Amino acid sequence: MADLAFPVVVAVACFAAHVLVNRLVLPGPRQRSPQRVAILVSLGAAAACTAAAVCLGGLRVLPFAAVVSTCIAYCYFHLFNMSETARRIRILTSVYLGVPIDDRHYSLDAMIDARIERLIMMNALHQDEGCHRPVRGLLLGASAMLDWWRRLLFPSRGDRVV
């Protein structure tokens, strides 16, 4: 029965840690990437839950605890990220609440500017004198790998990026 409760404990830990960090540790107007905070909090909660499981059950539970807590943290991050950035979620919420949809936020320029701003906040993109340059790191490596994969799967599309 304890094995079945563990994923719930990890999910609650991710949520609670996220709320505490945003409300108590990082309050105020300082700009930070919500995605970066969610990633770090999710990984921290997963590590803490794994450590607690090992303390309670010994080293034999380490593989189970590590895999389950990492998967739950991954799911939590994507659930948060979807709620934070998805246009469809915001549009549905506006319609549900009866709030008029401000179509200025959904123009192509506004969407591109918002994504560029997020990339800058995550230190994945650097802006210097109006020019943007990618910053070497995990996100650039992942995007290069996905681009390679896309070109491998769909060679007829050529060098088209999107």
* Domain boundaries of the chain, sorted by first residue: 2-85, 100-157
For residues 35-55, average pLDDT: 88
- Asked if residues 37 and 26 have their Cβ atoms less than 8 Å apart, the reply is yes
For residues 53-75, average pLDDT: 90
Name 125's Cβ contacts closer than 8 Å, sequence gap at least 6: 116, 119, 132, 133, 134, 135
pLDDT at 68 over 80: yes
pLDDT at 160 over 70: no
Span 111-120, pLDDT tens digits = 788 888 888 8
Residue 132, φ and ψ in degrees, nearest 5? -105, 135
pLDDT at 25 over 60: yes
* Secondary structure, 3-state, the chain: CHHHHHHHHHHHHHHHHHHHHHHHHCCCCCCCCHHHHHHHHHHHHHHHHHHHHHHHHCHHHHHHHHHHHHHHHHHHHHHHHHHHHCHHHHHHHHHHHCCCCCHHHHCHHHHHHHHHHHHHHCCCEEEECCEEEECCCHHHHHHHHHHHHHHHHCHHHCCCCC
Q: Which residue has the higher pLDDT, 50 or 1?
A: 50
pLDDT band with cut points at 50, 70 and 90 for residue 82: confident
pLDDT at 36 over 70: yes
Span 121-156, pLDDT tens digits = 888 888 888 888 988 988 888 888 888 877 777 666
pLDDT band with cut points at 50, 70 and 90 for residue 67: very high
pLDDT at 40 over 50: yes
CA angle 23, 72, 88 (to 5 degrees): 70
For residues 13-18, average pLDDT: 86
Question: How confident is the model at residue 31, as a pLDDT?
Answer: 65
